[in-house]
């Protein structure tokens, strides 16, 4: 089986942190998201992955060059201009030649899904694609939601007319696709596969369906709030995680739920709780932080974390 990781985006929702680090390399528990995805895919039996890159493409390439993966081959697809998810897929359609189904995953997703069950569900249906979803919790998110009929076929994607009586779902960013999707994409395709590609398929009577994995936590880590929430879940036991080469000066107080990245320094008198310090950062003497993310250049404090 093959898969694609979508990592070319600018990460605008995650600014200012994506000014120096691509979202695919943002850490959960001091481990880059990209490594979580590759580990998950490798355990699933995926033997080849293609990753589209644009923003901070060199950083992603260098990170992959340092890793020593044996069971999975990784290829990069560089986009000089952003193509959108639909255009990214159209560009690499030959990569999936001969595949009966394949996975496409957003790099800014962190999940604990049972993907084997999702693949089995998708294989048992005749849908061109299956989108992994969760129930919509916030009514303010309805414009960006998916609508389905009673059998789970998608009847509406964002930018289409909203059906107030239909079931609303939030797309997690994980697709299981068949070659039918690629056949529907032109070589000139640009834009979002959901808003453009799937909409055309719905209008032609070939809609995708959904798969809802119950009791499966997931996080959209494409925002500072989401990134912090995922890291705090990683430390659900309340303990802290400190990189071996981090420098914690005497008198610094850490906890609960603090993550200190590689090469970072926390100066004396600093007091951190529910905070992530990204690699190479410096927390000055006497700093008090709660529900925050610290980077070498920026610090952002959240009012609340879901």
Residue 46 in contact with residue 37, Cβ under 8 Å? no
Using CA atoms, how far apart are residues 123 and 181, in angstroms rounded to an integer? Answer: 15
Residue 6 in contact with residue 105, Cβ under 8 Å? yes
**Domain 224-301: assigned CATH number:** 2.160.10.10
Question: Whose CA is closest to 209, among 165, 184, 178, 179?
Answer: 178
Residue 199 in contact with residue 93, Cβ under 8 Å? no
Which helix (H) or strand (E) segment holds residue 57: the answer is helix 57-66
Q: Which segments of the chain belong to CATH 2.160.10.10?
A: 224-301
The pLDDT value recorded for residue 160 is 87
The pLDDT value recorded for residue 52 is 95
The pLDDT value recorded for residue 306 is 58
The pLDDT value recorded for residue 73 is 92
Residue 30 in contact with residue 241, Cβ under 8 Å? yes
Q: Which segments of the chain belong to CATH 3.90.550.10?
A: 2-220
Question: Whose CA is closest to 40, among 116, 93, 108, 98?
Answer: 116
Question: Whose CA is closest to 306, among 224, 241, 240, 189?
Answer: 224
Question: Whose CA is closest to 252, among 240, 239, 268, 265?
Answer: 268
Question: Whose CA is closest to 276, among 16, 21, 6, 30?
Answer: 30
Using CA atoms, how far apart are residues 274 and 235, in angstroms rounded to an integer? Answer: 9
The pLDDT value recorded for residue 304 is 67
Provide the terminal-to-terminal Cα distance of the chain, rounded to the nearest Å: 34
Question: Whose CA is closest to 277, among 234, 244, 246, 238?
Answer: 246
On the CB side of 133, CA atoms within 13 Å amount to 25
Q: Which CATH number fits domain 2-220: 3.90.550.10, 3.40.1280.10, 3.40.640.10, 2.60.40.420?
A: 3.90.550.10
Residues 6+ apart with CB under 8 A from 77: 50, 51, 52, 53, 88, 91, 92, 95
Residue 132 in contact with residue 113, Cβ under 8 Å? yes
Per-residue pLDDT of the chain (306 residues; tens, 9 = 90+): 999 999 998 889 989 999 989 999 999 999 999 999 999 999 999 999 999 999 899 999 999 988 877 789 999 999 999 899 999 999 999 999 989 999 999 999 998 888 888 898 898 888 999 999 988 877 777 888 899 988 899 998 988 888 777 788 999 999 999 999 988 887 777 888 999 889 999 999 999 999 998 777 888 999 999 999 999 999 988 899 999 999 999 999 998 999 999 999 999 999 999 999 999 999 999 999 999 999 999 999 987 655
């Amino acid at each position: 089986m093959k898969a694609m990781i979508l990592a070319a985006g600018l990460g605008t929702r995650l600014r200012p942190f994506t000014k120096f680090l691509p979202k695919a390399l943002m850490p959960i528990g001091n481990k880059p998201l990209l490594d979580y995805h590759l580990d998950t895919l490798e355990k699933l039996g995926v033997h080849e992955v293609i990753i589209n890159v644009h923003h901070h493409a060199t950083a992603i390439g260098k990170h992959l060059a340092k890793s020593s993966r044996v069971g999975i081959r990784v290829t990069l697809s560089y986009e000089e201009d952003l193509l959108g998810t639909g255009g990214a897929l159209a560009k690499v359609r030959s990569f999936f030649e001969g595949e009966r189904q394949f996975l496409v995953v957003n790099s800014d997703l962190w999940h604990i899904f049972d993907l084997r069950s999702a693949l089995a569900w998708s294989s048992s249906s005749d849908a061109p694609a299956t989108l992994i979803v969760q129930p919509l919790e916030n009514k303010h998110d309805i414009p960006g939601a998916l609508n389905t009929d009673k059998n789970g076929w998608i009847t509406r994607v964002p930018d289409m007319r909203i059906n107030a009586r239909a079931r609303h779902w939030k797309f997690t960013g994980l697709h299981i696709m068949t070659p039918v999707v690629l056949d529907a994409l032109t070589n000139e395709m640009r834009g979002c596969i959901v808003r453009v590609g799937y909409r055309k398929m719905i209008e032609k009577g070939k809609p995708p369906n959904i798969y809802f994995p119950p009791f499966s936590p997931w996080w959209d880590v494409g925002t500072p709030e989401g990134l912090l929430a995922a890291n705090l879940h990683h430390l659900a036991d309340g303990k802290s995680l400190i990189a071996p080469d981090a420098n914690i000066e005497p008198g610094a107080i850490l906890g609960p739920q603090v993550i200190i990245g590689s090469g970072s320094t926390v100066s004396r008198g600093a007091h951190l709780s529910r905070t992530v310090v990204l690699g190479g950062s410096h927390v000055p003497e006497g700093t008090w932080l709660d529900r925050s993310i610290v980077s070498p250049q920026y610090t952002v404090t959240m009012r609340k974390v879901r």
